[in-house]
A and B are shown apart, each in its own frame.
Chain A
Amino acid sequence: MTVVFYLIAAITVAGGLAAVLLKNLVHCALAVTIAFGGIALLFLSLDAQFAGFVQILVYIGAVAILIVFAILLTRGSDVPKDGVFSPTWLTGVAIASAVFAVMGWAVINSVNAIPQLAAVPHVTVHDIGVALVGSYVLPLEIVALLLTAATVGAVIVAMHEKGGAE
């Protein structure tokens, strides 16, 4: 268990670091994909099948492709002349470490906040499905409505631009 964990963690962290440090933007996007895959493997090693597969389906199948498309359709994959590091990188590091500190603190403290279970709860995909369309049906519907509205909005924005150009 621990060996597998450290292996996956190393892959994930390496992917994340590569995403920040590589010079070519498309390489960065592909490195993010590796990090996503590592997180999915972490979920799977915790026996959370649903979360793991949805991580692959949504993040590798859709989000990574979206990032890549965005890069290709906007700035292109050429390496900028003045390097990839922003002049305000120190601020970035400060914000990132502050966020990391808060999250780490929350995770460490959650050990006391959540009641300790004797056995690992066995949650099947079936249970998740029942919970989603049972007790959590209202949030699910609201999210669905929000996403539909966002999609319709995106289509309208795209249509308007096309009409203006003609």
Chain B
Amino acid sequence: MIDKADQIFVLLQHWLVSFLPLALQQPAAVLLGVIGIVCVFPAIFALTTVFERKGLGRIQNRLGPNRVGPFGFMQPIADAIKSLTKEDVVPSTANGPVHFLAPVGLVVAVFMGFAVLPVGRNMVLVDMDAGLLFFFAMGASTEVSVFMAGWSSRNKYSLLGAMRAVAQMISYEVVLLLSSVAVVMITGSLSLTKIVEAQNQYTGIFPHWYIFTPWGLAGFVMYAIAATAETNRSPFDLPEGESELVAGYHTEYSGFKFALFFLGEYLAMLSISGLGTTLFLGGWSAPLSFLTFMPSWFWFFSKLMMSIFVFIWMRGTLPRLRQDQLMNFAWKFVLPFTLLDLFVTALWRFMGEGLLRWIVCSAILLAAYIIMGRVAMVRKHFGPRSYRYAE
């Protein structure tokens, strides 16, 4: 019974495929997997938009959407109908083909990333040897789409937004890759299913998730910072800083093309949260050993929604950074700390089991964190806040 619930989608796929002749079974199984991904993640995206608007409303002491359907939960359907029927305005000076291809390319590249994410036991579309590499390759190719969108609009706000977005994505991609390398060093594999399996063990009732090790915690924090910046989410949402750039690189997009950008942005957030879950939070493994009776996909999607919740929470809490702060933060704090984390990971790998490696690794990371913070603070002269123009 437990196994049935765990494997329900796999069994469903096998059952549906078994009606077909043998030659067609393999492609049909792949097609079903693709349909699953293309249906489930946009559905989560629709839910996320409601949760985000209601959550932000709660944080800002207002109600949020509450008109459409019970508690406003039908809002995404109304939004979808609206964006489908809206006029598609293309600026007359815009570069037609590039302007059209940019949102399409973005959404395709983002969807590709889901192909290697293990969303449950035996539930991965393509179990690739180099799954992590594939994911990052697809993530890197979204930058071209962002640039295409900004450049082809022939609008200075769009171009500035695109330049900001690309510069930010490239800077933080370094950190994103390096913080994942730590996991690869310990697991010894780029395959995401193997990374999850390595974490799916228990000591007593506690799982072997990488976040519960010193290097894993540091790596996860760095990964989360980089992931927030990579998906252009607040507090790193400068590329679409409304106060200065209208809406960034999708200023000149309307109707369904804008909806595609919106979809791409949220899907990127979902996929990068999914990868973070897989790398550091044990993927589909249960948080405590006696909770394994719950289906594996339930745990994956719970962790995914938790990450999304943290994203929304941060957006409602933190103010936006300035461009120079963003770059300084990436290159002067996050990157050195990630490199140190790599060194600590190597230490962890070669010091062998025991309490000693816990103490040494934690001490190095803590000391580095405190010293770097102190050094960075020395020149800042923090005191009572003074205002230049207002008293």
Contact = CB atoms under 8 A, between A and B. Distances in A.
Interface of A: 24, 26-27, 30, 33, 37, 49-50, 53-54, 56-57, 60-62, 64-65, 68-69, 72, 77, 124-126
Nearest to A44: B134
Interface in B108-137: 128-130, 133-134, 136-137
A65 B144 contact: yes
Contact of B140 (A26, A62, A72, A77): A62
B263 interface: no
Interface of B: 95, 98, 128-130, 133-134, 136-141, 143-144, 147-148, 151, 159, 163, 166, 170, 173, 188-190
A57 B190 CA distance: 15
Contact of A30 (B98, B128, B133, B137): B98
18 contacts: A24-B95, A37-B141, A49-B128, A49-B133, A50-B133, A53-B136, A54-B137, A56-B138, A56-B140, A57-B137, A60-B140, A61-B137, A65-B144, A68-B151, A124-B129, A125-B133, A126-B129, A126-B188
Contacts of A57: 133, 136-137, 140
Given A50-B130, A61-B173, A126-B190, 18 more contacts: A26-B98, A27-B98, A49-B128, A53-B137, A54-B133, A56-B140, A56-B141, A57-B133, A60-B140, A60-B141, A61-B140, A65-B170, A68-B147, A72-B163, A125-B129, A125-B130, A125-B133, A126-B129
Contacts of A60: 137, 140-141, 144
Contacts of B159: 72
A124 B141 CA distance: 24
A127 to B, nearest CB: 10
B144 A33 contact: yes
Contacts of A62: 140, 170
Nearest to A37: B141
B201 to A, nearest CB: 21
A49 B129 contact: yes
A56 B137 contact: yes
Given A27-B98, A77-B151, A61 B143 contact: yes
Nearest to A33: B144
Interface of A is mostly: helix
**Which of A24, A27, A30, A64 has the most CB atoms of chain B within a 10 A radius of its CB?**
A30
Nearest to A73: B163
Contacts of B141: 37, 56, 60-61
B166 A125 contact: no
Q: Lowest 9 A-B CB distances belong to which pairs?
A: A61-B140, A56-B137, A53-B133, A53-B137, A57-B137, A125-B130, A49-B130, A60-B141, A125-B129
A65 B173 CA distance: 13
B148 A126 contact: no
A93 B63 CA distance: 67
Contacts of B189: 126
B278 to A, nearest CB: 17
B349 to A, nearest CB: 13
A54 B132 CA distance: 11
Contacts of A49: 128-130, 133-134
A125 B137 CA distance: 15
Contacts of A125: 129-130, 133, 190
A60 B170 CA distance: 12
A26 B152 CA distance: 10
A143 B33 CA distance: 41
A28 B151 CA distance: 14
Contacts of B173: 61
B52 to A, nearest CB: 28
B162 to A, nearest CB: 10
